[in-house]
Amino acid sequence: MNDYDSARLGDLLEGEGLASAGREHEADLVVLNTCHIREKASEKIYSELGRLAQIKRERRAEGRDLTIVVAGCVAQAEGELVLRRQPAVDVVVGPQSLQRLPELLRRAKRGAPQADTDFAVAEKFSGLPKPSAAQIAARGVSAFVTVQEGCDKFCSFCVVPFTRGAEVSRRVADVIAEARRLVQSGVREITLIGQNVNAYRGLDEAGRERPLELLFERLSEIEGLARLRYTTSHPVDMTQGLIDAHAALPKLAPFVHLPVQSGSDRVLREMNRRHGAQPYLDIAARLRAARPDIAISSDFIVGFPGETEEDFEATLALIRAVDFASTFSFKYSQRPGTPGAERADQIDEATKSARLARLQALVEAQRQAFNAATVGRTLDALFEKPGRHAGQIAGKTPYLQAVHARGDESLIGRVLPVKIIAAGPNSLAGEIVRAGEAA
Q: Which residues bind ligand 5AD (CB under 6 A)?
A: 37-38, 157-158, 259, 261, 299, 301, 330, 332-333, 335
SS3 track for 181-222: HHHHCCCCEEEEECCCHHHCCEECCCCCEECHHHHHHHHHCC
Report the nearest approach of ligand SF4 to the CB of residue 151 (Å). Answer: 3
Under a CB-based contact definition with an 8 Å cutoff, are residues 41 and 330 in contact? no
Give least dist CB 154 to ligand 5AD, A.
12
Among ligand SF4, ligand 5AD, none, partner that 153 touches (CB below 5 to 8 angstroms by kind):
ligand SF4
Nearer to ligand SF4, 182 or 260 (CB): 260
Task: Identify what 38 binds: ligand 5AD, ligand SF4, none; CB under 5 to 8 Å per kind.
Answer: ligand 5AD
Nearer to ligand SF4, 257 or 396 (CB): 257
CB of 153 to ligand 5AD, least distance (A): 11
**3-state secondary structure labels for all residues of 36-70:** CCCHHHHHHHHHHHHHHHHHHHHHHHCCCCCEEEE
Residue 259 or 263 having the CB closest to ligand 5AD:
259
Instruction: For 22-159, list the strands marked E by DSSP.
Output: 29-34, 67-72, 91-93, 114-116, 142-146, 148-149
Beta-carbon neighbour count of residue 76 at 10 Å?
A: 26
Q: Which is nearer to ligand SF4, 50 or 328 (CB)?
A: 328
Query: Angle at Cα 153 formed by Cα 317 and Cα 234, nearest 5°?
Result: 45
Least spacing, CB of residue 234 vs ligand SF4, in Å: 5
Q: Which long-range contacts (CB under 8 A, 24 or more apart) does 401-410 make?
A: 401/371, 401/374, 401/427, 401/428, 402/426, 402/427, 402/428, 403/379, 403/427, 403/428, 403/429, 403/430, 404/428, 404/429, 404/430, 405/381, 405/429, 405/430, 405/431, 405/432, 406/431, 406/432, 407/383, 407/432
Closer to ligand 5AD by CB, 28 or 39: give it. 39
Q: Taking the complex as a whole, how short is the minimal distance between the CB of residue 268 and ligand SF4, in angstroms? A: 11
Distance in Å, CB of 38 to ligand SF4, minimum: 12
Select the binding partner of residue 125 from ligand SF4, ligand 5AD, none (C-beta < 5 to 8 A, by kind): none
Q: Toward ligand 5AD, which CB reaches closer, 165 or 259?
A: 259
Closest CB 75 distance from ligand 5AD, rounded Å = 18
What residues make contact with ligand SF4 under the rule CB under 6 A? 151, 153-155, 158, 160-161, 195-196, 234
Q: Measured from the CB atom, is 336 or 391 closer to ligand 5AD? A: 336
